[in-house]
Structure 1
Amino acid sequence: MATGSPPASLLSVAPMMDWTDSNCRRFHRMLSRRALLYTEMVTSAAIVHGDLSRLLDYDACEHPVALQLGGSDPAQLRQAVGIAADWGYDEINLNVGCPSDRVQSGCFGAVLMTRPELVADCVAGMIAVSPVEITVKCRIGVDDQIPEDVLPDFIARMRAAGVRRMAIHARKAWLQGLSPRENREIPPLDYPLVHRMKAEFPDMDLSVNGGIATLDQVQDHLRVMDGVMVGRAAYHQPWDILGAADGLWGEAPPFETPTDAALAMRPLILAHLERGGRLHQVTRHMPGLFHGRPGARQWRRVLSEGASTGGIEVCDAALAQTRIDPD
């Protein structure tokens, strides 16, 4: 169980819908003992009315782990936080950054950048009932908003409501005309604006998110920011991002090579299979483990072709491909 709010995270893995499930987090936790991990976004309505075990259960090995909520009803969010408190998450985060259509239709996610006073009411109510820190993830603005005006005002309102830690995706979100994928790639990144926010709000703990693909880039941002949130790079090349990440805290990494990490996953995979799970549910998070290394393509191929129907032998066969001398 969590013992309280974790220290500000130097490195976190962004919450992503249909991706950052418990199997993904356990894999990432194998690679880094210290990175802060997030759940997929769960709506406050789902928690109030849904299957709590399915929505909120996780493995103790995932700590430190944060729950991300989506919603815009202050009373319902407050109720959801009160319910989730029993699950012992290390942090609860409010999503004010997701641009997907299904999020907009529920009036939460990035569309809330246009209603900062409502967000302030939401987080104030969440803070009032939460035993752990309430944080916010946002964009620099949406649509025709001017980020230089909108973002500092938004941060100031969050601070006044009691928020002390935020993650800022350094892109606008275009709520009309761009798909969620395009919103991750087309709007230009404005890191200098996010960096200026740290100078303007030195008492706030601010992380930057968006387009950060290497550990060197993480370290560059940490010269200015309190933390860095990495998204899809942690999925596409997890070893490059997380395999040496604990060095940011001055600690040795858990494993010397991605092969060591793959072998360490075997007991977790076997336990998952013994519970009736399917191999693909775990290994779908692992194709990028050998990114840029000998045998990477064969590793991906064997996993993708066999994981839907196979067992642990598929993992062993895939790993054998990384040991074949390419010459």
Structure 2
Amino acid sequence: MDYLVSLLTSLSAEAIAPTTAAFAIAAIGLNIHFGLTGLVNMGQAAFLLLGAYGYAIAVIHGVPVGLAIVIALLTAIVFAVVLGIPTLRLRGDYLAIVTISGAEIIRMVGRSSLLTTVTGGSNGLTGSSYRDSFNALSFLPEGSTRILWFDFTNNGVNGWWIRIVGWGLVALLSLMLFALTRSPWGRVLKAIREDEDAVRSLGKNVYSYKMQALVLGGVIGALAGIVYVLPSSVQPDAMGRSMTFFIWTALILGGAATVFGPVLGSVLFFVVRLAIRTLASDVIPSSIMNTQQAEQFSYVLVGVALMLLIVFRPQGLLGNKKELTFSV
């Protein structure tokens, strides 16, 4: 009984972790790309990495937090425009190949030894070099606070302050997405997803709308990158292809083209993965499966579950099959 209580406590703590919030934000941005507009963006991690680098480097050089966030978002906008100008006329697999290539370019540039003095190279940037100015904005007193069974420090690396900011952004962006899906702009995006030739025949500038969607989703991705690195550090290799695939997993799991699908999918992704990893480590003898293998095993089972979900419920847990007629 004690073991079950301990496991449920760990799983619920993982559900509200800052990393989970960051993935939910990133999935909301990807939802604008794919769920609303039908853009198969396989490089969402690049926006997270640019947001993380833009914020961290600016703060390290003495820029105030607010201005550092603006710099991070402007960096994502510039990248979205540069990426979108030659690629948004592509569809389907071709767009996916180009976007994943763009993300890899950003990652390789970030870890380049030529930029070690700026980006930290392959070692990245330590969180202690840029985190203090964010924690200084906290209105919470020093010490720790217990709410229900959650007990975290108020302003620590993994405390209540970063949780409040992260999940507050999730709530605001979910409301924004709710409003956008019901706005004329959002309806045009959905029409582009269904049949962009028909939208173009009505006199709409499809290219412009796609660019707007790419920029908006990229800016949200940059916000996710900032939240992701605040309790940790900026590591370029941690924001590579795998991260993009995990964000896609969260989006598809919850349901693309839905408001709360990205949030639910992110929570379930991390909770289920932790549950599998914990149970595998505790139940299976270390002679058969060590901790590292249990981590890999959790990804395997999550992947199998995703495959089954796509086969038997392709619209995700909250999705609607009517939203799946993508012409990409």
Question: Could you tell me the TM-score, scaled by structure 1's length?
Answer: 0.24
Question: Could you tell me the TM-score, scaled by structure 2's length?
Answer: 0.24
Bigger helix share: 2
Bigger strand share: 1
